Amino acid sequence: MKRIMAIDYGDARTGVAVSDLLCSIVGTTTVIPSRNADKALADLVRMAREQEVGTIVVGLPRNMDGSEGPRAELCRAFAGRLGEMTGLEIVMWDERRTTVEAHNILSEHNYHGKKRKNTVDAVAASLILEGYLNYRSR
């Protein structure tokens, strides 16, 4: 069985969460720098190979009314390049409110300042992955 990787793509940092082998829970999370998109893509391709990933879920930032703006276009383009480079199935996943939820979770656990800034994207990626895993299990 292959793992599932979820990505919360951002301009400065990209959160990454990878499932366990059973694809039932979030196994690991990390954050990679993404100011250089080519380097971020190379890092994600390497991680997908090392972690034996079969599917990549990319968060799709939609507006609250469900429409897509410029940020969604960037994410779709990034996901397209990632799919070409890995040859893996890419699933676009509605990520509305994941960053807000991630900030709430970190506030509840007293993560503030730089500590939060370095963690919020990984938490958002884990929320994307949890949502997708729940969807798959239904």
Query: What pLDDT does 64 receive?
Result: 85
Per-residue pLDDT at 115 exceeds 90: no
Q: 9, 61 in Cβ contact below 8 A?
A: no
pLDDT at 113 over 80: no
Is residue 64 classed exposed, middle or buried when 0-12, 13-18 and 19+ CB atoms within 10 A define those classes? exposed
User: Tens digit of pLDDT for each residue in 64-101?
Assistant: 888 888 999 999 999 999 999 999 999 999 988 788 78
pTM (two decimals) = 0.91
Report all structural domains of the chain as residue ranges with CATH numbers, in order of start: 3-137 (3.30.420.140)
Tens of pLDDT, residues 6-43: 999 999 999 999 999 999 999 999 999 999 999 999 99
**Residue with token string 């897509």:** 68
Fill in the amino acid letter for 75: C
Instruction: Say which residues have a Cβ less than 8 Å from residue 109's Cβ, sequence separation at least 6.
Output: none
